[in-house]
A = this chain, B = another copy of it.
Amino acid sequence: MTQPPRTRDANTREDCEALDRADPLALARAQFTLPDGVIYLDGHSLGPATHAALARVERTAREEWREGLIRSWNTAGWIDLPRSVGAKLARLIGVAEGDVIVTDSVSVNLFKLGAAALPVAKSRTIIVEDSEFPTDQYVAEGLTALSGAAMMRVGEHQGILALQQTGGVLIRSIVNYRSSDTVDVAAFEEIARASGGVIVWDLSHATGVLDLRLGAKGARLATGCTYKFLNGGPGAPAFVYVHDELAGKIASPISGWFGHADPFAFNAAYAPCEGVSRFAAGTPGVLSLAALDAALDAFENVDLKHIAAKTGALGDLVIARADAMGLATISPRNWTKRGGHISLLHDQGYAIVQALVARKIIPDFRAPNAMRFGVAPLYVRFVEVWDAMDQLADILETRAWDKPEFHARSKVT
């Protein structure tokens, strides 16, 4: 594993400048278009725009939709986008090119994959941890209610034990949205296989910051979101990965026409197409798909080992500075055990984050007390993390968060 730059030695802003100069990913930043003066540490929630994505949205709207109209399904390749964008994603998660398709949202895809896994698991049980991202838990509730499968909600880190005991279907994030904890995918898959169980991986907070190598680790089913560290744009569609060996043996419960072997034959009876494409359902959202397609070009030719190492190094810097401020973290100190965000705890976390935003530094907050700092390796600089931590220290020291306007709650936090 590539060692990250030794950020524990970054004791000054100049040290950070040196790290940025030595950064093999430094050139990627130029592909992004961030607002002036903003330090953006919220890539784990919504990635920023690239020049290419903005240009592509406009081209898709003005040339393909306005000018090409219905013809663009063929002439602009709209019909192939779910698969061609999926092929780009496949490299980022380390699986075969044809095993990924872009479709629907993570919530809908968790439902589809969970349902599809039930007939091939030893036990008709859906397992989810109570520390799991909420929508994963909610979807498990809805799926079990409809299908009659059993629902097992277990404590944090208890999911794999429950899988081992039941041989059921475990829905599991690779990076926890709150703590940033990661999981040993290969070890989990080994247990799943031995027990007759199946794991549906949620890659939402993992893709784009780690060297996932899911194929080599035996992962068979996954979904993940593309608007976070993949920078696909607000509400960009999610993806589905199904290992080719499994694809022919399972079926999507939402058997829509775009998953049909021959959708434009307009046959009455459903016949799923080959491979992961059977997990497509309705007509794909072309504008969002096109933005995502262009956004992923920022990852072209980027070494995933560099991605993982820089994510680790930036995170180390956040933790080192937080230690110096006396701020506790719930994120792993070992960079190989965490994702692309660091959660720092403070009872006044909400107001502190608002005070940072007022200074054009944008992290985010998760109730009740976690301030999350996302360190996306393609556009976040060491010196920006340094400056952000300076401001955080100042806000804590001067109690700058203690103003009424920083306590007013928004609909979306």
Contact of A282 among B69, B108, B146 (CB under 8 A): B108
- A 16-35 binary contact with B (CB < 8 Å = 1; else 0): 00000000000000000101
Chain B CB within 8 A of A299 CB: no
9-residue interface stretch from A56-64, A187-195, A316-324:
A56-64
Report the Cα distance A256→B258, complex, angstroms: 22
Contact-size category for A = 35 or more
Contact call A255/B139, Cβ cutoff below 8 A: yes
Interface residues in A255-294 (C-beta closer than 8 Å to B): 255-260, 263-270, 281-289, 291
Contact call A70/B251, Cβ cutoff below 8 A: no
Contact call B291/A61, Cβ cutoff below 8 A: yes
Closest to A35 in B: B67
A279 CB to closest chain B CB (Å) equals 11
A227 CB to closest chain B CB (Å) equals 7
- A 52-88 binary contact with B (CB < 8 Å = 1; else 0): 0110011011101111011111100011100000000
9-residue interface stretch from A90-98, A229-237, A340-348, A395-403:
A229-237
Contact partners of A42 in chain B: CB under 8 A? 69-70
Contact call B255/A33, Cβ cutoff below 8 A: no
Contact partners of A61 in chain B: CB under 8 A? 49, 53-54, 57-58, 233, 291
Contact call A256/B138, Cβ cutoff below 8 A: yes
- A 131-159 binary contact with B (CB < 8 Å = 1; else 0): 00011011101110111100001000000
Report the Cα distance A395→B57, complex, angstroms: 37
Report the Cα distance A287→B61, complex, angstroms: 11
User: Given A49-B65, A148-B148, A234-B78, A138–B286 Cβ distance below 8 Å?
Assistant: no
Contact partners of A80 in chain B: CB under 8 A? 411
A407 CB to closest chain B CB (Å) equals 15
Chain B CB within 8 A of A313 CB: no
Contact of A104 among B105, B137, B288, B411 (CB under 8 A): B105
A104 CB to closest chain B CB (Å) equals 7
Contact call A135/B411, Cβ cutoff below 8 A: no
Chain copies in complex: 2
A215 CB to closest chain B CB (Å) equals 26
Contact of A46 among B67, B69, B236, B265 (CB under 8 A): B69
Contact partners of A146 in chain B: CB under 8 A? 115, 146-147, 253
Chain B CB within 8 A of A367 CB: yes
Contact partners of A58 in chain B: CB under 8 A? 57-58, 61
- A 183-201 binary contact with B (CB < 8 Å = 1; else 0): 0000000000000000000
Contact partners of A334 in chain B: CB under 8 A? none
Interface residues in A284-313 (C-beta closer than 8 Å to B): 284-289, 291
Contact partners of A38 in chain B: CB under 8 A? 69
Closest to A129 in B: B268
Contact call B79/A411, Cβ cutoff below 8 A: yes
A76 CB to closest chain B CB (Å) equals 9
Contact partners of A264 in chain B: CB under 8 A? 367, 411-413
Contact of A35 among B69, B135, B235 (CB under 8 A): B69
Given contact pairs A225-B283, A236-B285, enumerate 13 new A-B contacts (beta carbons under 8 Å). A49-B61, A72-B234, A73-B410, A74-B412, A107-B258, A115-B146, A130-B268, A233-B286, A234-B285, A266-B367, A285-B288, A287-B287, A288-B288
25 A-B residue pairings within 8 Å (CB atoms): A33-B66, A35-B67, A40-B69, A46-B73, A49-B61, A57-B57, A65-B233, A70-B364, A79-B412, A104-B108, A107-B254, A107-B258, A108-B108, A134-B263, A134-B267, A134-B268, A135-B282, A137-B270, A138-B260, A138-B270, A235-B284, A235-B286, A235-B287, A264-B412, A287-B288
